Structure 1
Amino acid sequence: MPSKKSIALDTEAAIDRLMHFLAIEGITGEEQAIATAIRQSLLDLGVPESAIRFDTANERIPLPTQTGNLIVELPGTRDDEPRLLFSTHMDTVPLARGAVPVRKGSRIVPQGETALGGDNRTGVAVLVTLVAELFKQKLPHPPITLLFTVREESGLFGARYLEKADLGDDLAMCFNVDGRSAAHLTIGAVGAERWEIEITGKASHAGVYPDRGISATLIAALGLTRVHEGGWFGKVEKDSKFGTSNIGTFGDAQGRAAGDATNVVTDFVKITGESRSHDARFIREISGAYKAAFHDAAEQVRDHEGKKGKVKFTSRQDYHPFKLKEDAPVVLRARAAVEAISRTPEVKTTNGGLDANWLVKHGIPTVTFGAGQNEIHTIKEFVDLAEFDSGCRLALALATMAE
């Protein structure tokens, strides 16, 4: 097995590339600028214009999205091998808006009170560096497709609305770059449902006629109490089944504070939340517990005439859970590649969602590895440059190792 030193890499060029991409804004749904920068970088490296295109996923995504997924098809020098897919997402969380990257020793950090956007500019830089090194070193490799998705941070939408046929024929497997450590190979992830609860009560003067009102706030409070008492909030364990749930927002239909004034019985509350588990049935069971709790709560709050409020519960599947077998070809290739860069592979699952959830659902076995992200989604975010280097080397190993 070749050592890490035998896999050549222009580390400083890779870091310069990362700094360049980190400085380009592209929060979720607003990926046009970073997509343009990626495209130009690939053209500058010698990728033919005809090999680079955008799909139409943004036309199917139910939220405003500036551009589709960016897809790049590279011919192989070993055409007898199946095509490999490398993926990452282009967008960052909104907290990274206005980020200015600064290199400090072995890290890149944000200059101001923002996130950095290493999630997932590290992945972008890894994939562009992969192309740079394949071309510069004239390394043998199978046909390769690169996928840069949109709106991962706001719901995995780019991967969800991807058309598999747009990725080329004979796709064997995928390697998704999104995480902290190159040695950590994520082969499974939870699924999730997101849901909304709309509670309609009846307004009345809270001082003069409080009994004539139906408090949507009280219904909400009773519903949450029932959920908590039933063991369905936060970490959920039932009959050897495990999951999580959370309330995200509690307000009016526009996301403002629920209610109008202290002297008015609140007539409407909207709550949003999520349910997660590695068990698809248990996800639905958690969501169902919330639905039942709030409908039961509505029965307990009535006005002076015995009328009650209304509860509308709607849910949608955000992404499907998955778990690859440890002896799956994609996992074995990933393990061998980690060992090729002199690291010890660690196979794991995650309680967060990844583009891999939808790529696997599309029929593409996908392993996710990291490239230096740390403290993501916070103003303490930084990129560990040693891990970024390992991520670049791992991508090269994955792309060039023989079957």
Structure 2
Amino acid sequence: MNEKYNVRDLFLSLVQIDSHSLQEGEMAARCKAELESLGLQVTVDKAGEALNGQTGNLIAKLPGEPNMPKVLLAAHMDTVRPGESVNPRVDENGVVWSDGKTVLGADDKAGITAILLALQEIQQQQLPHGDIQVVFTIAEEIGLQGAKQLREAQLDAHFGLSLDSGGALGTIAVAGPGQAKFEVTVTGVRAHAGVAPERGVSAIKVAAQAVASMPHGRIDEETTANIGSFVGEAPTNVVADKVTIIGEARSRNPEKRERILEKIEQAFAQAAQAAGAKADFTQTLMYEGFDFPADAPLRKRIEKALHDSGFTPNPQKVGGGSDANVIQTLGVPILNIGLGYEDIHSTNEHIALANIEHAAQVAVRFCTLPWDVA
């Protein structure tokens, strides 16, 4: 898997392109050029305009044989901070690191590299395949915002493979939770804390009592809840009358997630009512969950691609979300596989170049398998 692309040169060049969320313009231009050089037809959607970013999502297509399955390959172009001026180095074992001042950006430029390598291999070897659609999204790291701008009419595939997960090669995220975020504004009564504190109602105290009584942390094997932000600011001589709480609830069971949210809302309502305060609760569904059983056609296809590439499938139920959560709601069944990167979202992030090559081999096999993979 070589000639045009060398995995080392391609990956190192991609991680050196700055592409924080909503600042993926240069990265998108490079990816568009690479995809077009491989014979794909590329369009840029309106996600950038909707999100006030530099570019939209890239949606590309390589036409194939009509009697073979249509497949989709997905990855995202943005990175978390600090990700500017990445200075990669390759150690004696072929593992790539940053210089310790930034993230590396293997999440998810390793996925993009693997997809480009796979497309090159398919073209060079003239391997039979159905239509291959490639989706490179923006703004994944800030809540899957780019993927949420995709529309069902833009996607056309029977099976999808997302290359955007940690874990060793062989890992498949076969089940994951839906996530809802909530925000609560607690309004109390402002008063002088030294002269007349009894005239006030502390929003901070009310909110603290509610947080202490609400479900929190690991609820059960498939359900969690968390507070991410608790903000109530006032001078020490003022009974604070305003607090804003932001949190989330996740579960692979939508009914459990809704019950947890009801209990959280109830905890704030009860604490506010008892103190003579007010609690305004809102929730937003960020993405739905998924669960693919062992006999699901997509799961069988991915496991076959892994097995044929020399890896033992390792299905996992995960707690996080990715673009795959959004894409699967648009009519394309899609699962995430591990690429072998480690310590993502940190300045210790690293990945072996061999893992990227192996992921590309899996993607090649995924794209070229016939309908019947039994």
Please say whether Structure 1 and Structure 2 have the same fold, judged by a TM-score greater than 0.5.
yes
What residue number does 1:348 align with? 316
Confirm whether residue 103 of structure 1 aligns to residue 90 of structure 2: yes
Number of aligned residue pairs: give it. 369
Q: Does the 8 Å contact 1:179/1:371 carry over to 2? A: yes
Q: Does the 8 Å contact 1:324/1:365 carry over to 2? A: no
> Could you tell me how far apart the structure 1 residues matched to 2:251 and 2:17 are?
35
Confirm whether residue 47 of structure 1 aligns to residue 39 of structure 2: yes
What residue number does 1:391 align with? 359
What residue number does 1:378 align with? 346
Which residue of 79, 82, 105 maps to 2:66? 79
Confirm whether residue 178 of structure 1 aligns to residue 164 of structure 2: yes
> Could you tell me how far apart the structure 1 residues matched to 2:339 and 2:129 are?
21
Shift in Å at residue 371 of structure 1? 1.9
Q: Does the 8 Å contact 1:11/1:389 carry over to 2? A: no
What residue number does 1:116 align with? 104
Q: Does the 8 Å contact 2:38/2:119 carry over to 1? A: no
What is the SS of the residue equivalent to 1:94? coil
Question: Please, which runs of 5 or more residues in structure 1 have no aligned partner?
Answer: 1-7, 252-257, 302-307
Shift in Å at residue 219 of structure 1? 0.9
What residue number does 2:23 align with? 30
Confirm whether residue 284 of structure 1 aligns to residue 258 of structure 2: yes
**Pair 287,95 (structure 1): closer, same or farther in 2 beyond 3 Å:** farther
Please give the root-mean-square deviation of Cα atoms over the aligned residues, in Å. 1.9
What residue number does 1:158 align with? 146
Confirm whether residue 316 of structure 1 aligns to residue 284 of structure 2: yes
**Equivalent AA in structure 1 for residue 321 of structure 2:** G
1:1-400 superposed matches below 5 A: 8=1, 13-43=6-36, 45-47=37-39, 51-60=41-50, 63-76=51-64, 78-105=65-92, 106-168=94-156, 171-180=157-166, 181-227=168-214, 232-237=215-220, 242-251=222-231, 258-301=232-275, 308-400=276-368
Query: TM-score of the superposition, structure 2-length normalised?
Result: 0.93
**Equivalent AA in structure 2 for residue 126 of structure 1:** A
Question: Please, which runs of 5 or more residues in structure 2 have no aligned partner?
Answer: none
What is the SS of the residue equivalent to 1:198? strand
What is the SS of the residue equivalent to 2:158? strand
Deviations 1:166-225 (A, max 9, x none): 124xx2110110113331112221111001011112222111111122211111111111
What residue number does 1:401 align with? 369
**Equivalent AA in structure 1 for residue 228 of structure 2:** G
What is the SS of the residue equivalent to 1:374? coil
- Percent identity, aligned pairs only, is 31
Shift in Å at residue 401 of structure 1? 2.8
What residue number does 1:254 align with? none
**Equivalent AA in structure 2 for residue 32 of structure 1:** G
